[in-house]
Amino acid sequence: MVQESSLAVTIVARAAYYDRNPLGVGITDITFAVAPHVNTSRGSYTVPANRKAMVTGGNASAEGFTVATTAGAYGASATAAGQLVKQYTLDNSVGGKVFVPISPGNVLNAAQVATIFDEDLSTGGSASFMKVVNLVEFDA
């Protein structure tokens, strides 16, 4: 004789991330006409305990302000549990620029850090940089 048994499964719906105490967070830096410099952190955000954060967008851009005496790569980048964006150019003309958007969707867990950077490896001259990373923080 074969006995049949069944297990009752209860499915509990969990609210979407945007309904779990959301908080908009942004890291922004605009640096105008700065001299050549090594890779420099311009801002960061650390996800608090018991929270997560999702990248919702942003961008990184760089523009030549004055001509360098010796051209070198310059640009901006952003990291958040991996590389979000990294853009560099060798354009040594005044007004030469590069702009790269950040795709949404990268999720950071508690204690992970999002950071924005810029650097100019030329000599002389100057460049302007803009970095923006937008996130929505929510209960984990």
Model pLDDT, residue 81? 87
Q: Cα 120 vs. chain centroid, distance in angstroms?
A: 19
Which residues are 26's β-sheet partners?
Answer: 134
State mean pLDDT over 39-45.
97
Residue 102 DSSP label? P
| Distance separating alpha carbons of residues 81 and 73, to the nearest angstrom | 25
Model pLDDT, residue 16? 86
Model pLDDT, residue 1? 55
Instruction: Please report whether residue 109 resides in a domain.
Output: yes
- CA nearest neighbour of 139 among 13, 11, 23: 23
> For the chain, where are the alpha helices, taking DSSP H only?
none
Model pLDDT, residue 126? 96
Model pLDDT, residue 2? 58
- Which tens digits make up the pLDDT trace of 6-29? 667 777 788 888 889 999 999 999
Instruction: Please report whether residue 11 resides in a domain.
Output: no
Which residues are 127's β-sheet partners?
Answer: 34, 64
Instruction: Please report whether residue 120 resides in a domain.
Output: yes
Range of the domain at 122: 22-139
CATH number of the domain bearing residue 97: 2.60.120
Count of structural domains within the chain = 1
